[in-house]
Amino acid sequence: MSETAISVRGLVHTYPSGVTALHGVDLDVGPGERLAIVGQNGAGKTTLVRHLNGMVRPTEGEVRIGDWSTTEKSIAELAHRVGYVFQNPDEQIFARTVATDVGFGPKNLGFDEERARRAVSDALEAVGLAHEADVHPHHLSLSERKRIAIAAVLAMQTPIVVLDEPTTGQDDAGVQLIAGIVDSLIAQGRTVVAITHDMDFCIENFDRVVVMAQGEVRADGPAEEVFADVAALEAAAVEPPQLLRVARALGWSGTPRDARAFVDQLTQQRGSGSSA
C-alpha cells in the first residue's frame, strides 16, 4: 500500500472529559487525492485529522498511514509521512528567524544540510516570504505568520499534507497563494487534506468533499454530488458555494465550480435558449 494513502476504519474517539467527538468514521484517501472536510465547529473535523499524525489516538478503530498503524508510531515518526499545519500559527512558530523556524522540521526529519537549505528556500518562495527569511516572526502579521506555518510544513516535504483552516484571516492574494500551493502539492503527487469553512475555496480547489456533523460522516464524494446533498448540508449547517446557489436558483442542472465554468455554462444556456 502506498505510503501516501490514508485508511480510517470504525474510528471512535472519546476525550478524557467524556465527550465522544467521533462516532465511528470510515474514510479512505488514495495517494495524490485532494480532500476537503467541512462541517460545523464541534463536528469532529479537527479530531479526525489529528488522528492522522498521531496527535490523537483512537479510542476504538484504526487509522493507517500507508502501511503504518498510527498507534504503533510516535507523533515524531508519523511526521515523516504527514505534515500538519495548525490553525493557530503561534502554537507552531518558535524560532528567532523565519528561516530557522521553517528549517526546524527538515532538521528533525534528518535532511542533510544541502537538502534542508533548498527545502527551506523553496518553501519560503512558495508562500511568498523569501524576502523575510531573516526576520523575527513576531515582526510579521498574523496572516504572514500563518504562511510561515505553511512553509514550515512544506519544507518537510511529506507525502501527505493536512491543512487546518488554511485561509482564515487571509486576504484575497493570500487565498490565491494557498490555492496555488495546493495545486503544486498535488502536482508533486502529494495527498492534501484540508479543513475549511470557505465553501468557495473548497469547491474551487478540492475534488472530493467530506461533510461531517456530530462526529459522523454525512456525505463523502465529488464536490458536485456532495453540494447537492441538501440533507447532509443542513445537518452540517453548511451552505453551498455562492455560484452553485445561483446556478440552483436559475434551475441549472450542472455544477459550475468557478466563475469561468459558470460563465461557460451561461453561454451554453443562452446558446441553447432553454433552461435545462
Q: Tell which one of 157, 170, 191, 205 touches other proteins (CB under 8 A).
A: 170
Site for other proteins in 120-139 (CB under 8 A): 138
Q: What are phi and psi of 213, to 5 degrees?
A: -150, 130
Q: Can residue 157 be called a binding residue for other proteins (CB under 8 A)?
A: no
Q: Can residue 141 be called a binding residue for other proteins (CB under 8 A)?
A: yes
Closest to other proteins by CB, 187 or 249: 249
Task: Supply the minimum distance, in Å, between the C-beta of residue 86 and other proteins.
Answer: 6
Closest to other proteins by CB, 10 or 231: 231
How many chain residues touch other proteins (CB under 8 A)?
A: 69
Closest to other proteins by CB, 1 or 173: 173
Q: Can residue 97 be called a binding residue for other proteins (CB under 8 A)?
A: no
Q: Can residue 93 be called a binding residue for other proteins (CB under 8 A)?
A: yes
Q: Can residue 197 be called a binding residue for other proteins (CB under 8 A)?
A: yes
Q: Can residue 153 be called a binding residue for other proteins (CB under 8 A)?
A: yes
Q: Can residue 84 be called a binding residue for other proteins (CB under 8 A)?
A: yes
Site for other proteins in 208-237 (CB under 8 A): 237
Query: Between β-strands 191-195 and 82-85, what pairing exists: parallel, antiparallel or unpaired?
Result: unpaired
Q: Can residue 267 be called a binding residue for other proteins (CB under 8 A)?
A: yes
Of 28-36, 78-86, 113-121, 223-231, which part binds other proteins (CB under 8 A)?
Answer: 78-86
Q: How far apart are CA 108 and CA 139, in angstroms?
A: 25
- Spell out the SS3 assignment of the chain: CCCCCEEEEEEEEECCCCCEEEEEEEEEECCCCEEEEECCCCCCHHHHHHCCCCCCCCCEEEEEECCEEHHHCCHHHHCCCEEEECCCHHHCCCCCCHHHHHHHHHHHCCCCHHHHHHHHHHHHHHCCCHHHCCCCHHHCCHHHHHHHHHHHHHCCCCCEEEEECCCCCCCHHHHHHHHHHHHHHHHCCCEEEEECCCHHHHHHHCCEEEEEECCEEEEEEEHHHHCCCHHHHHHCCCCCCHHHHHHHHCCCCCCCCCHHHHHHHHHHHHHHCCCC
Show the binding pattern over residues 38-77: x = contacts other proteins (CB under 8 A), - = does not: -xxxx----------x-x------------------xxxx
Q: How far apart are CA 132 and CA 135, in angstroms?
A: 5
> What count of residues does the chain have?
276
Task: Supply the minimum distance, in Å, between the C-beta of residue 193 and other proteins.
Answer: 14
Contacts to other proteins by CB under 8 A = 39-42, 53, 55, 74-77, 79-80, 83-84, 86-88, 90-95, 104-105, 107-109, 138, 141-144, 152-153, 156, 168-175, 197-200, 237-239, 241-243, 245-246, 249-250, 258-260, 262-263, 266-267, 269-271, 275
